[in-house]
Amino acid sequence: MKKIKKAIWIPSLVVVVLAAVILTLSLIKVNPMINTFGEYSRIELIATSSGAASPDIKVDGESVTTNTLNSSLESTKFSVMQAILEGKFSYKVELTDETVTSSALRYYSALNNEYVLKLYYDEVQTMTVDDVEIKYDRVFVRLYETNGEIHEVECVPYLEYNIDNGSFSDEYDEDGKIGSAFYEAHVLTVKMNTSKAMASIAEYLALYN
């Protein structure tokens, strides 16, 4: 009888431990977006092909727009458990072969079924991806529906100064500045689950647009 009880007790303990591990991994959230680019000072929404930012809507002196966009971007994080189940074991930002010219950055816009978030930084930030140093004080984030899954989302960090500066310099200085005609911003990809963000922004636009 004791052997039978022991045989039942061991599998039960395994189930309990496994359940605890799954719960823990489900509670641990990963936010590659903020981890990659850091905390921003301002955020805007581009919801049309014109490239124009949506107006800042305020209610009782508080910006509904900013609150919605902040919470939307925060919601793109995902749990370690989901990442494991989907086989997404790396949260590292990826450098693509694509670049965006200064003229294209001026009119960077949302395509069909997409939203673009524009992040502002008070000071120039520096990051290194695959041995490439990137300086930026703005980031475009191109959101699309990932249907509850984790997918790569296009992000374009860039220096605002390089968009339209009238400089004829064809070489970067130590501050990352160069003549606009020669500037190309790198396109990066960051893993996100965008479904909550897309729904939140769509609801906001339906109410206030």
Segment-wise mean pLDDT, segments of 10 residues, the chain, 209 residues? 53 61 62 90 95 93 95 92 84 94 95 96 96 96 97 97 92 94 97 96 91
Task: Report the pLDDT value the prediction gives residue 208, as an integer from 0 to 100.
Answer: 85
How far lies 24's CA from each of 13, 21, 74, 168, 196, in Å?
17, 5, 20, 55, 22
Q: Could you read off the pLDDT of 189-209 as tens digits, one per residue?
A: 999 999 999 999 999 999 987
